[in-house]
């Protein structure tokens, strides 16, 4: 019995979610009084893993894992978990992980739950705490299968540095994981843009910005902060911004460290999708806007005055602090 942590990577680098997954997997293994192993697919982890102290990282390199393919990834995780005798598998709550975990659960006859926000509440029966109803409530879910797949919500656990030595081992898959049903021929990625799912900081604009021509200041603020850009639903519905930036209940979820909402009222459907963000800042003229109550910090003021000043201050801060 052991815990296997499935790491995600992009362009040969571990994703920022890895630190939290490793910290959670390590704490979970300690809670279960067992070992923690990590699995990295098509990504060398030599220089990026040592801070988290898992016993061993298994590296699998295969041409069939070059681009994300849910079936191939599930096959790989299944083989490694069986080889290492792992009956708890920790995955992220990314879209790719969700695609993969259903197939993996079916393959291993495992129980799969996602949106997990903490260490298990009990070992026997194995009970996890998960957020439900768009983060409005928690459910305590019992997982009764022998193999359990746990999808961890981003930013729910945090990162614990642990400098215990980590062994890195290459692993050759014995099974042929090439999917005959689905073959990824190539992948196009948007250059120079930070994805909302992976961003530490997200700058988001709403109808209070009056029109698409006013987005330059949002771009400038995102630029100076190294942030991803997002927007409310009406903004994308009106075509001011692309639908890929729409966040909320019917858009993308945001679980960034910092979420800055500018000219967004904070309707329940918007808040539902951004409430997993750690620190929420709102800039709004209306002190009664729902987002003001939901935010950690609020600036009551006109975005057209506040945002340019904020950009100037941040630029000056960056110059002063190198």
Ligand X SMILES: Cc1cc2nc3c(=O)[nH]c(=O)nc-3n(C[C@H](O)[C@H](O)[C@H](O)COP(=O)(O)OP(=O)(O)OC[C@H]3O[C@@H](n4cnc5c(N)ncnc54)[C@H](O)[C@@H]3O)c2cc1C
User: Segment near ligand X (CB under 6 A), from 40-48, 119-127, 146-154, 246-254?
Assistant: 246-254
Estimate to the nearest angstrom the gap between the alpha carbon of 11 and the chain centroid.
17
- How many whole angstroms separate alpha carbon 15 and alpha carbon 50? 15
Estimate to the nearest angstrom the gap between the alpha carbon of 113 and the chain centroid.
16
Q: Which of 130, 233, 241, 280 is the binder for ligand X (CB under 6 A)?
A: 233
Count of residues that interact with ligand X, criterion CB under 6 A: 26
15 binds ligand X (CB under 6 A): no
284 binds ligand X (CB under 6 A): yes
Q: Which of 264, 281, 298, 310 is the binder for ligand X (CB under 6 A)?
A: 264
C-beta closer to ligand X: residue 50 or 286: 286
Query: Helix, strand or coil for residue 25?
Result: helix
Task: List residues bridging with 13 in a β-sheet.
Answer: 10
Given a contact cutoff of 8 angstroms between Cβ atoms, the answer to whether 103 and 70 are in contact is yes
Q: Residue 217 Cβ, how far from ligand X at the closest point, in Å? A: 11
Q: Which of 153, 166, 265, 276 is the binder for ligand X (CB under 6 A)?
A: 265
User: Segment near ligand X (CB under 6 A), from 6-14, 63-71, 116-124, 262-270?
Assistant: 262-270
Given a contact cutoff of 8 angstroms between Cβ atoms, the answer to whether 234 and 263 are in contact is no
User: Which 160-219 residues touch ligand X, going by CB under 6 A?
Assistant: 206-208
250 binds ligand X (CB under 6 A): yes
Q: Which of 2, 27, 194, 267 is the binder for ligand X (CB under 6 A)?
A: 267
286 binds ligand X (CB under 6 A): yes
Long-range contacts of 94-101 (CB under 8 A, 24+ apart): 94/8, 94/15, 94/17, 94/197, 95/197, 96/8, 96/68, 96/70, 97/6, 97/8, 97/151, 98/151, 99/70, 100/70, 100/73, 100/74, 101/74, 101/149, 101/151
Around Cβ 142, how many Cβ atoms within 10 Å? 12
User: Which 133-162 residues touch ligand X, going by CB under 6 A?
Assistant: none
Residues that bind ligand X (CB under 6 A): 206-208, 232-235, 248-251, 263-265, 267, 269-270, 273, 283-286, 289, 302-304
């Amino acid at each position: 019995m052991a815990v296997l942590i499935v790491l995600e990577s992009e362009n040969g680098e571990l994703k920022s979610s890895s630190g939290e997954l490793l910290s959670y997997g390590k704490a979970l293994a300690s809670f279960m009084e067992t070992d923690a192993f990590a699995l990295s697919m098509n990504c060398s982890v030599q220089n990026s893993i040592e801070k988290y102290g898992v016993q061993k990282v298994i590296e699998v390199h295969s041409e069939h894992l070059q681009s994300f393919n849910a079936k191939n990834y599930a096959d790989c995780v299944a083989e490694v978990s069986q080889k290492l005798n792992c009956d708890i598998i920790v995955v992220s709550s990314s879209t790719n992980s969700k695609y993969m975990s259903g197939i993996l659960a079916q393959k291993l006859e495992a129980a799969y739950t996602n949106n997990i926000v903490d260490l298990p509440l009990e070992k026997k029966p194995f009970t996890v705490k998960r957020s439900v109803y768009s983060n409005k409530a928690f459910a305590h879910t019992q997982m009764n299968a022998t193999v359990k797949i746990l999808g961890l919500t981003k930013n729910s656990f945090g990162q614990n540095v642990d400098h215990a030595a980590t062994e890195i081992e290459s692993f050759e898959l014995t099974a042929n994981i090439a999917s005959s049903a689905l073959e990824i021929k190539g992948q196009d990625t948007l250059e120079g843009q930070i994805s909302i799912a992976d961003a530490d900081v997200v700058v988001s604009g709403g109808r209070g910005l009056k029109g698409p021509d006013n987005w330059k200041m949002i771009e400038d603020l995102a630029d100076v902060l190294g942030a991803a850009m997002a927007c409310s639903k009406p903004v994308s519905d009106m075509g001011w911004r692309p639908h890929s930036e729409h966040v909320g209940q019917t858009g993308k979820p945001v679980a960034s460290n910092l979420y800055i909402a500018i000219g967004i009222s904070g309707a329940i459907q918007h808040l539902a999708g951004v409430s997993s963000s750690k620190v929420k800042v709102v800039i709004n003229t209306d002190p009664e806007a729902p987002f003001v109550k939901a935010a950690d910090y609020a600036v009551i003021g006109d975005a057209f005055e506040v945002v340019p000043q904020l950009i100037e201050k941040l630029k000056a801060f960056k110059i002063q602090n190198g």
